[in-house]
Amino acid sequence: MNFTPAIDISKNEEFYTNLFKLVDSYIISEPDWLAQLTNSLALLNEMLPQVNWIGVYLLKDKDLVLGPFQGKMACNRIPLEKGVCGKSATELKTMNIDNVGKIENYISCHKETFSELVIPIFYPNKKQELEHLIGVLDIDSPVFARFTEIDQKGLEKIAQLLGDKINWPEPSILRK
């Protein structure tokens, strides 16, 4: 396996403030939740360098089911007890993985992925508990240690924006 050192691509807080505003403008310009989410992910995919896959897995029963994404085909369904996405969902916290090859029970959808950032998304105005989890924002990179602390904080704010501003269907509808 070749090691590709990360180029200094850390963005400053102003980059993420502007990216947040762009995502927000896409969301408020369209009332349908699926279109809101799909265009938000397309924008993030376009704006974030050295990312090879970005998408959302939606919580349905005890699985995360593939939702809108940008990139190659992906795993359709991830059990909550498996992989980085499952761990993020069950622990209700962000997972910033510098080297996915070192993760026990990692689910590899693409051999080109070396680092991963997974952030939980919650329904608006709800406690951060499993019953209020919509799903997770999953971002993969072909670069080891791609996601800096600045990236993580900026993308956590964007994940919160997705949870708060998208016109999500009621959980009983979304989880069918």
d(CA 3, CA 164): 38
Contact 42, 51 (CB under 8 A): no
Q: What is the mean pLDDT of the chain?
A: 90
pTM of structure: 0.91
d(CA 49, CA 35): 23
- Judge whether residue 107 has pLDDT over 80: no
- Judge whether residue 163 has pLDDT over 70: yes
User: Per residue in 36-91, pLDDT tens?
Assistant: 999 999 999 999 999 999 999 999 988 999 999 999 999 999 999 899 999 999 99
If pLDDT is split at 50, 70 and 90, which confidence band does 112 have?
confident
> Can you tell me the mean pLDDT for 105-131?
85
- Residue spans of beta strands (DSSP E) within 37-173: 53-60, 63-71, 77-79, 95-97, 115-122, 133-141
Contact 18, 158 (CB under 8 A): no
Helices 33-47 and 13-28 meet at what angle, rounded to 10? 150
Q: Could you tell me the residue ranges of all domains in the chain?
A: 13-174
The predicted structure's pLDDT at residue 120: 98
- Judge whether residue 139 has pLDDT over 50: yes
Which CATH architecture fits 13-174?
A: 2-Layer Sandwich (3.30)
Q: How far is CA 9 from CA 5, 148, 149, in A?
A: 11, 9, 12
Please list the residues that pair with 119 across neighbouring strands. 137
